[in-house]
A and B are shown apart, each in its own frame.
Chain A
Amino acid sequence: MAELEAGTTTGARRPRPLSPHLQIYRPMLTMVMSIVHRITGAGLYFGTALLAWWLLAVASGPNAYANFEWFAGSIVGQLILFGFTWALLHHALGGIRHLIWDLIYGFEPAEREMLTVATLVGSIALTIVVWIVGYLAMGGPR
């Protein structure tokens, strides 16, 4: 330690160089989508509590199921389920994108941008399709 401090006149230690962190970089699409992948993963993690509630409610009987259906049908419930659907599809498509990259494909600048945009557009489109089909199914036989 003495040798390190000998070089400075005051004896105070010079600040060591730090590696640049996220906020240094201009946000790029691939980077933002990587962050979103982690956020959707964490969201889905806690969302599985709803899956457990749904399954337990079905197994518990008509009254418990009616409670769940009331929540799922409420505005808050619908918003959460819509968000859950998008997060699930986004994380699934993002996962496929990462698997493609794991196999060392799609690393050219245009390719990785295309894959990233496809994840975003695909997840939104598929979410809307799933909900339209869901609403059509609601009109079907009970």
Chain B
Amino acid sequence: MIGQRPNEMRTAARRVRGLGSARSGTRHFWHQRVTAAAGVPLTIAFIVIVVALTGRSHAAVVQILGSPLVAVLMLLFIVNTLYHMWIGMQEIVLDYVHDDKLKILALLGNTCFVFAVGFASAFAVLKLSFGV
């Protein structure tokens, strides 16, 4: 075939249109499992922290959430969870939303939501931690 690269299964037209393997198909699959495994101990830590803070005064909550160990655990939980759910929601959108415009909007919305929640949560923990 004219224009065919050696060892290339795709046709030249396929390549120009950008369809086919991008060699990154399993990246999200793998990252979803890595963050799932990391999420187990981090979720346990999160639940313990929340239960320990239940019913305490504002001053006590500020002090405990801002202490280095608790703050680091919270930050790890936040980053790990948000990356996990970003991949997860993307998967749901790609499975169920077939209209191109809606799909792009939903994927953008997913990214925006994750960044908004992530930055708000992480910023709050950092502010408590640095005691400003």
Interface residues of A (CB under 8 A from B): 38, 41-42, 44-45, 48-49, 51-52, 55-56, 58-59, 61-62, 65-66, 85, 88, 92, 95-96, 98-99, 102, 130, 133-134, 137-140, 142
In whole angstroms, how far apart are the Cα atoms of A102 and B32 in the complex? 12
- Chain B positions within 8 Å of A66 at CB level: 58
In contact, A52 and B47 (Cβ under 8 angstroms): no
Give 10 nearest A-B pairs by CB, closest first.
Answer: A138-B55, A55-B124, A59-B124, A52-B120, A62-B58, A65-B58, A59-B127, A52-B117, A95-B36, A134-B54
Residue of A55, A88, A99, A140 with most partner-chain B CB within 10 A = A55
Residue of A42, A92, A99 with most partner-chain B CB within 10 A = A92
Interface residues of B (CB under 8 A from A): 33, 36-37, 39-40, 43, 47, 51-52, 54-62, 65, 74, 78, 81-82, 85, 88-89, 92, 113, 116-117, 120-121, 123-125, 127-128
In contact, B117 and A102 (Cβ under 8 angstroms): no
Known: A48-B82, A99-B36, A142-B56. A55 touches B51 (CB 8 A): no
Using A42-B89, A61-B58, A130-B47 as known contacts, list a sample of 13 further A-B pairs with CB atoms less than 8 Å apart, ordered by residue number in A.
A42-B92, A45-B88, A48-B81, A48-B121, A55-B65, A55-B124, A58-B58, A95-B40, A96-B40, A133-B51, A138-B54, A138-B55, A142-B60
**Nearest CB to that of A42 among chain B residues?**
B92
- Min Cβ gap A80→B in Å is 14
- Chain B positions within 8 Å of A48 at CB level: 81-82, 85, 117, 121
Residue of B33, B39, B85 with most partner-chain A CB within 10 A = B85
Residue of A51, A65, A138 with most partner-chain B CB within 10 A = A51
In whole angstroms, how far apart are the Cα atoms of A14 and B28 in the complex? 39
**Nearest CB to that of B35 among chain A residues?**
A95
- Chain B positions within 8 Å of A41 at CB level: 85, 88, 92
In contact, A52 and B121 (Cβ under 8 angstroms): yes
In whole angstroms, how far apart are the Cα atoms of A51 and B124 in the complex? 11
